[in-house]
Amino acid sequence: EVLLLESGGGLVQPGRSLRLSCATSGFTFTNFAISWVRQAPGKGLEWVSGISASGGSTHYADSVKGRFTISRDNSENTLYLQMDSLRAEDTAVYYCAKGLSFGSVIDYFDYWGQGTLVTVSS
């Protein structure tokens, strides 16, 4: 069974940092690109960032470029999102989502986690 389990969310003040993790199992992690997608309360979905299977290629939405960093540890089957200089508008549930390709992060997603809530507020 494919599982993706996000963690690391919580309440954080504007301007501070937070690191999210996504622990995976049930598939060969090293073979697939994987992304973060967020959903603000009561709103739609926004793709945030994606990373290729090897970790050699990363992409970011303009809204987070320069503030967020995606990475992966293929020995631990875990995806990360380092979020710096957080803003109120970053408040959302953050999902990790598995792609179907090795190299391309521009893809659809066949498995999603349950999400972790990040609240940016003073």
Partner 1 sequence: IVLTQSPVSVSVSPGETATLSCRASQSVSRNFAWYQQKPGRGLRLLIYGASTRATGVPDRFNGSGSETDFTLTISSLQPEDFAVYYCQQYSSWPPGITFGPGTKVEI
Q: Applying CB under 8 A, which of residues 9, 46, 58, 119 lies at the interface with partner 1?
A: 46
Distances (CA, A) of 109 to 86, 99, 114: 26, 5, 14
- Among 55, 59, 84, 119, which residue interacts with partner 1 (rule: CB under 8 A)? 59
- Between 23 and 61, whose beta carbon lies closer to partner 1? 61
Which of 17, 25, 54, 114 binds partner 1 (CB under 8 A)? It is 114
DSSP letter (8 states) at residue 65? T
**Minimum CB distance to partner 1 smaller for 16 or for 43:** 43
Give CA separation, 91 vs 10, 55, 81, in Å: 10, 26, 14
Cα 19 to Cα 24: distance, rounded to the nearest angstrom: 16
Backbone dihedral angles phi then psi of residue 31, each to the nearest 5 degrees: -100, -5
12-41 residues in contact with partner 1 (CB under 8 A) are 35, 37
Contacts with partner 1 by CB under 8 A lie at 4, 35, 37, 44-47, 50, 59, 61, 95, 97, 105-115
